[in-house]
Amino acid sequence: MKVSIWHNNEDIRVEEAPTPKPGPKEMLVKIISCGICGSDIVEWYRLPRAPLVQGHEIGGEVVEVGESIKNYKPGDRVCVAPKVPCMNCYYCENGHYPVCSNVKDRLPGGFAEYILVPEALMERGTYRLPENMTYDQSTFIEPLACVVRAQNLAGIKKGQTVLVMGCGMSGLLHVKLAKTKGCKIIATDLNGKRLKYAEKIGTDITIDAADNVPERLMAEHHKKADVVILCTSANSAIDQAWKSVDKGGSIVFFAVPGPNREVIIPINDFWTKEIKILTSYYCGPPDIMEAIKLLETGTIEVDDMITHRLPLDDIAKGFRLVIEGKESIKVIIKPNEGIKTLKASEKAE
Ligand SMILES: [Zn+2]
Ligand SMILES: [Zn+2]
């Protein structure tokens, strides 16, 4: 089978590897769609495990199951979480699934024709796709689950003002989800195309991130934000976030600036204002179930976010599109389709 080995963003190689054979408690899944995540291109985060096969936003078809697997059969349509919590440790019992102490198995990367689903992920990390969900839509389950978790942590409620800083794929999912909750939404980005799209999906006010965001927020909305969600690692956005949060509000670091950059918190300004600073990373099983429901019911629509579908051979191009972030929102890799079939069957680009 073909797999793509990521060494760094400039060096991604498509290579031949033996197709794995499932053990008794494993299964083999043919990858139909695998999304490129914003975190896949973050080198400081990914390099420690390189070279590796990336790709954790997968939708695929079961092709072979081990002899002990009774609940799945070839032909089943599934999504598999990248890693699963144990549900038994101190952190899991307190709902902090992303920091479970017992995560062992990880999903092999989905930028490959097939993946072998390990035992722990068979037991607790595999989800059947609803009948009406396409494989392309299923690549949004994991990113949407992360967004669901962050908004639940922030306790977002109807009528609140939510400021989404950065309108990449995650930021736009934050806009869509907050919209379903009846929030006032303000979004920022440097890219005018993305701001236009944010407007199209219901953002009330968009602001060029190069402007003075807190000033524009007050001029146009006359109130600061109850929840500020940082979906960009730009330092300037963090400074704007401090000045844009209202009394009693929260700032959520959905993206972080990177390991070598320190952030100065204006804690004296915040002291008398009951400001919360939160971080949100990854998701847990309840978030995944909620994301599946949101997609299945059409509460969150994602088809219009898909800008590119590419065969595995074009993965380097896919990464470039995500890194540049100019033309793309969601880039999906289709490992089992060639360039020709892709062009004929789907509107690729
Ligand atoms: Zn992701
Ligand atoms: Zn645990």
Degrees to nearest 5, angle at CA 158 with 281 and 283: 15
CA distance 22 to 119: 10
Would you say the C-alpha torsion 343, 344, 348, 349 has a positive or negative sign?
Answer: positive
Query: Exposed, middle or buried by CB within 10 Å (0-12, 13-18, 19+), for 151?
Result: buried
Ligand showing the shortest atom-to-Cα distance for residue 90: 2
Residue 286 lies in a domain: no
* 13 plus 76 within the same structural domain: yes
145: CA distance to ligand 1 center in Å? 9
**Could you say which ligand is closest to the alpha carbon of residue 284?**
2
For residue 36, which ligand has an atom nearest its CA?
1
Quote the ligand 2 centre to 210 CA distance (angstroms).
42
Q: How far is the CA of 322 from the centre of ligand 1 (A)?
A: 13
- pTM of this structure: 0.95
What are the two backbone dihedrals, phi and then psi, of residue 285, each rounded to the nearest 5 degrees?
-50, -40
pLDDT for residue 313: 96
Residue 207 shares a structural domain with residue 239:
yes
Q: Do 106 and 72 reside in the same domain of the chain?
A: yes
Residues 322, 100, 82, CA angle at the centre, nearest 5°?
35
CA distance 56 to 171: 19
Same domain, yes or no: 133 and 8: yes
Q: Which of 279, 312, 330 is the last residue of a domain?
A: 279
CA 91–ligand 2 middle distance (angstroms)? 6
Kindly state whether residues 75 and 109 are assigned to the same domain.
yes
Tokens in use for 109?
């990367």
| In a domain? residue 168 | yes
Ligand (nearest to CA of 100): 2
Residue 295 is assigned to a structural domain of this protein:
no
Q: Which ligand is nearest to the CA of 145?
A: 1
User: What ligand is nearest to the CA atom of residue 86?
Assistant: 2
Same domain, yes or no: 152 and 182: yes
Ligand 2 centroid to Cα of residue 102, in Å, is 5
Cα(50)–Cα(5) distance, integer angstroms: 9
293 is a domain residue:
no
46 in helix, strand or coil?
helix
Q: CA-to-CA distance for 132 and 206, rounded, in angstroms?
A: 33
Strand order in the sheet with 276-279: 205-208, 184-189, 161-165, 225-230, 245-253, 276-279
Taking the centre of ligand 2 as the mean of its atom positions, its distance from the CA of residue 152, in whole angstroms, is 20
Considering every ligand atom, which ligand is closest to the CA of 57?
Answer: 1
Predicted confidence at residue 343, as pLDDT, reads 60
Mean pLDDT, consecutive 10-residue stretches, the chain (349 aa), reads 95 96 97 95 90 96 97 97 94 96 88 96 95 98 98 98 97 98 98 96 97 98 98 94 98 93 93 97 97 98 96 96 92 88 53
Same domain, 103 and 167: no
Q: What is the CA radius of gyration of the chain?
A: 20
Same domain, residue pair 260 and 169: yes
Rounded to the nearest angstrom, the distance between the alpha carbon of 94 and the centre of ligand 2 is: 9
Looking up residue 108, the CATH number of its domain turns out to be 3.90.180.10
Report how many domains make up the chain. Answer: 2
Query: In this structure, is residue 41 part of a structural domain?
Result: yes
The reply to whether 112 and 154 lie within a common domain is no
- Point out the ligand nearest to the CA of residue 39: 1
Same domain, 45 and 128: yes
- Looking at all shown ligands, the one closest to residue 88's CA atom is 2
Query: Which ranges of the chain would DSSP assign to H, the alpha helix?
Result: 43-46, 90-93, 119-124, 135-138, 141-154, 169-180, 192-200, 213-221, 235-244, 267-271, 285-296, 315-324, 339-345
Residue 247 located in a structural domain: yes
Give the 3-state secondary structure of residue 135: helix
Domain boundary among 247, 279, 311: 279
Which residues face 296 on adjacent strands?
A: none
> Relative to the alpha carbon of 124, which ligand is closest?
2
Of all ligands present, the nearest one to the C-alpha of 84 is 2
Span from the CA of 195 to the centroid of ligand 2 (angstroms): 39
Q: What is the pLDDT of residue 344?
A: 52
∠ Cα 243 248 254 (to 5°): 65
Report the distance separating Cα 320 and Cα 92, nearest Å. 37
- Indicate whether 308 belongs to any domain: yes
Q: Are residues 78 and 18 in the same domain?
A: yes
Residue at 30 is within a domain = yes
Domain that holds residue 13: 2-140+302-345
Ligand nearest to the CA of 282: 1
- Ligand 1 midpoint to CA 340 (Å): 28
From ligand 1's centre to the CA of 181, what distance in Å? 23
Q: What is the CATH number of the domain that holds 198?
A: 3.40.50.720
Q: How far is the CA of 38 from the centre of ligand 1 (A)?
A: 7
CA of 104 to the centre of ligand 2 (A): 10
My answer on whether 115 and 176 are in the same domain is no
User: Residue 151 Cα, ligand 2 centroid: separation in angstroms?
Assistant: 22
Please tell me the number of the ligand nearest to residue 254's CA. Answer: 1
